[in-house]
Amino acid sequence: MKNQFRIEQLGRSFKERLGIWSTEKKSVKTPAVWIATQGGAIPNLTPETIRYLTSNAKFAGLLIPFQYHTRDVEVLEKFKKGIDAFMGLEPQQWNILVAPQDPGVDLRLGYHTNKEISLWDSVGNRVPVNFAFYNRAIHAMRPDAYVPLCDGETPKDCPKKRVAKATAKSLSFLDQHLEKTCYKENSDINVDPPSHTKKDSLIFGAVEGGFDVEARKVSAKQVAERPVDGFLIDGFCFKIEQAIKLNYEEDIDKVVSEGVIPNLPEDKLRLYFGICSPKIVVKLVSAGVDMFDTSYARYATEQGQALVFQNTLENPQDASNILLNESLITDKIDESDGKCCDNVDFIDLKDPKFKNDFRPVSETCICYTCRKHTRAYVNHLLATNEMLAPVLLTIHNLHHYATFFETIQKSIQNESFHRLTKIFI
């Protein structure tokens, strides 16, 4: 497996960095975003409708949570062509990254055991997964990269003993994966390992430790000592409601900027998965994180919302005026309703006020949805529960979110990232 990550340019504003990640399939410019799949597909899209999305937008690849494929391992072993072919995707079209859990859904806490991670399949059944079963699944799925089994179940109020146990267990899982994939010349094994056990997928080690800065330091240093290809900063997303309310400065700033990033090598990728608003994305990029996923865009689609936050630096003043004149910025929501009180970055197309609005979802967007359809039409589709509604919203929201990452890349390259941060920070 070819793996090469090189830093093309370091930012001057913070610790942002522009990079190139090359695999055997394609090269990806970072910061980048993975499309989060669900149940073996990009939610609401088929292999055919994906083409309406990828003509303009660029992604790192597909993030495939294993929890939806726990019942498919034997089938995939017999299929023998990998998870991307099983999903009906074109060969060599997508980089594939497998992770144990879906970072964009609520996690059920309290079910892990000493040697197993509890995952929840497509119909909501609990499936205990140990290393042997997960390792077998990885070989059957044939991803380009994967995150080993890990225990990130360490919420804010988690006791230090539980944090230490989760960190140690995750490191143990990682060592088991490395032992199965990396064979040293001085090994006691006298014969070549079976071909299916050789290292053919990149490994992104999970950095755990919850919200404890010192525990994160320990985990980051330990994982960095291993021959991994990159790092996943895990353990911040447990409930969707909490992820939406996540405050970077209060919740994760010190954990990431002091506990994790300084203890990771600069020449390897750093990933953060979970629902990330544009503000959180900008903050994490400022700290030196390279890759994210589209859970935020998927969540907006599920709510009938269209993303409209400013995702370009071209004529920012004009774009801002357009948004204000069209009343695209939703009013602040009272915290007593249990929702975030910050200005949100979407329009709710379920609102009846859009039923006679014949403008595109966003007049500055060039996605298929905005070129071919109106807000009024999407509002109608949502009101009548038509299946086309989430399809059109998915195309727009993924395109809008991907464009945001292209803007981040350009801003770092042009040394104007500080201008982007002023919009969200």
With vertex at residue 165, the alpha carbon angle to CA 209 and CA 121, rounded to the nearest 5 degrees, is 85
Q: Is the dihedral of CA 14, 18, 24, 25 positive or negative?
A: positive
Segment 349-406, tens digit of pLDDT: 999 999 999 999 998 899 999 999 999 999 999 999 999 999 999 999 999 999 999 9
CB within 8 Å of 142: residues ≥ 6 apart: 81, 82, 83, 84, 96, 200, 201
pLDDT at 242: 86
* pLDDT tens profile 61-82: 999 999 999 999 999 999 999 9
Q: Give the model's pLDDT for residue 35.
A: 97
Q: Which helix (H) or strand (E) holds 230?
A: strand 230-233
Q: Smallest Cα–Cα separation from 152: which of 130, 171, 129? A: 171
Bridge partners, residue 240, by sequence:
none
Please answer whether residues 231 and 256 qualify as being in contact, where contact means their C-beta atoms are separated by less than 8 angstroms: no
Q: Which of 49-53, 257-261, 354-358, 415-419 has the lowest mean pLDDT?
A: 49-53
**Residue 318: how many CB atoms within 10 A of its CB?**
10
Query: According to the model, what pLDDT value does residue 238 have?
Result: 82
Average pLDDT of the residues of the chain: 88
pLDDT for position 288: 97
Higher pLDDT, 150 or 200: 150
d(C-alpha 163, C-alpha 72), whole Å: 32
Contacting residues for 397 by C-beta, under 8 A, at least 6 apart: 297, 298, 300, 301, 305, 306, 307
pLDDT at 324: 38
CA angle 313, 317, 323 (to 5 degrees): 95
Under 8 Å between Cβ of 295 and 397: no
**Residue 315, pLDDT score:** 55
Class of CATH domain 4-300: alpha beta
| pLDDT tens column, 100-159 | 999 999 988 889 999 999 999 989 999 999 999 999 999 999 999 999 999 999 988 889
- Break the chain into its structural domains and give their ranges: 4-300, 305-414
